[in-house]
Amino acid sequence: MREIFEHTADAGIRAESPTLSEAFNEISLAFTEIITGGNLPDNKNNFKVGIESANLDSLLVNYISHLIYLFDTENFLVSSANINVKTSSSHTISGILEGDFYDENKHGYGVEIKAEEFYNRLTSSDVFPTTSQPTPNQFLEIYNSIPKESDILSIHVSEKLSGTYNSALQAQKNLSDRNIQVIDSQLASTALGLVVIESAKQAQEGKSIEEISTLTNNALANSNVFILLDTIEYLKRGGRIGKAQAFVGNLLKLRPILTLNDGAVEGVKKTRSKQAGMNYLQEILQQQTNLVSVAVLYTTNEQEALSVANDVKEITNIDNIVISQCGPAIGAHAGPGAVGIALLNG
């Protein structure tokens, strides 16, 4: 028996078996399921394993490190571990690891790290993370998992920021017998989330997909997001601005406020301090006349986000403020310390 559970260090694995060898096999399979999101590959290839350690704890650590090494260097995932674990004067593992070379389209994709760990690595690693959109096959799998009698409204991050919308369109074309509508939101992050929540409420009320699609497009046209960066270093590292521009910005300690215009990122204000940027966000809120909902988004500083949420309540008289941590795709470019607001107007 194996179990994968939530843990502050990404994920925890609990294995219970009659023998140590079987328990280590369960750990192997759980590791694979974390990577794939629950799927196990076929036994098409194999690697020998031989590990010796001073005690059982270090044996387990070294074995998991070996699984990580095989995945990082060979793209190999285990589906069956035919191993023998011995504990005597020394602790050893020997045997054959069966499995296959990882193919995201075939094996699926699971969450490898949590946002907290992502941001820790973002600030401590010299390697800048890259992002990739879901594949058409992944959309096909999701669409096919929904009963055929159901209509599907598929709302996605701006096409100018990601290829996700195009992947969804390709999947839609392969399911011409289904009523699937794919929408380019021209938004991102929590601003998109606010619209999706409203669309889901309309679906729960029994409205048709045509009605919901119209309401969704209207909501998208009345939504936006403004995010205050604490540093422009990560825009530079991601290639969003040039080195010279970044040098001048860092020299002047500029903290830009970014928004989305027709689905593309653009700057609306450059401030010289974090407080000046916060004041400008408040000015934006004060200019709104028909707010339906507001969200506060942040990358690393939750306490700062809570403080902004209190300011939002005072300015807008809206009590139900969504507070959301930006995912890695946004956070990689916004960097640590970023905070912002997402607005949905009626």
Digit-coded pLDDT (tens) for 257-278: 989 999 988 888 888 888 999 9
First to last CA, the chain: 51
Residue type (1 letter), 20:
L
Taking domain 115-346, whether its CATH number is 3.40.50.150 is answered by no
pLDDT tier for residue 71 given thresholds of 50, 70 and 90:
confident
Q: Are 335 and 229 in contact (CB under 8 A)?
A: yes
Average pLDDT, the chain: 86
Q: Encode 35-56 in three state secondary structure.
A: HHCCCCCCCCEEEEEEEEECCH
* pLDDT at residue 161 tops 70: yes
Contact 156, 199 (CB under 8 A): no
Q: How far apart (Å, rounded) are the C-alpha atoms in residues 12 and 23?
A: 15
pLDDT of residue 247: 41
Averaged pLDDT, 6-10: 55
Q: Estimate the crossing angle of helix 56-74 against helix 20-36, to 10 degrees.
A: 40
Q: Provide the pLDDT confidence category of residue 40 given band limits of 50, 70 and 90.
A: confident
218, HSE (Cβ side, Cα atoms, 13 Å): 11
For residue 242, what pLDDT is reported? Answer: 47
Domains of the chain, by residue range, sit at 2-107, 115-346
Share of the chain above pLDDT 90, in %: 53
331: number of Cβ within 10 Å:
23
Average the pLDDT over 48-76 and give the result: 88
CB 97 within 8 A of CB 83: yes
Q: Assess whether pLDDT exceeds 50 at residue 243.
A: no
Tell me yes or no: is domain 2-107 CATH 3.55.10.10.
yes
pLDDT of residue 215: 93
pLDDT at residue 100, rounded to an integer: 93
Tell me the average pLDDT across 75-100.
91
The 10s digit of each residue's pLDDT in 183-238 is: 999 999 899 999 999 999 999 999 999 999 999 999 999 999 999 999 877 777 66
Burial of 151 (0-12, 13-18, 19+ CB in 10 A): middle
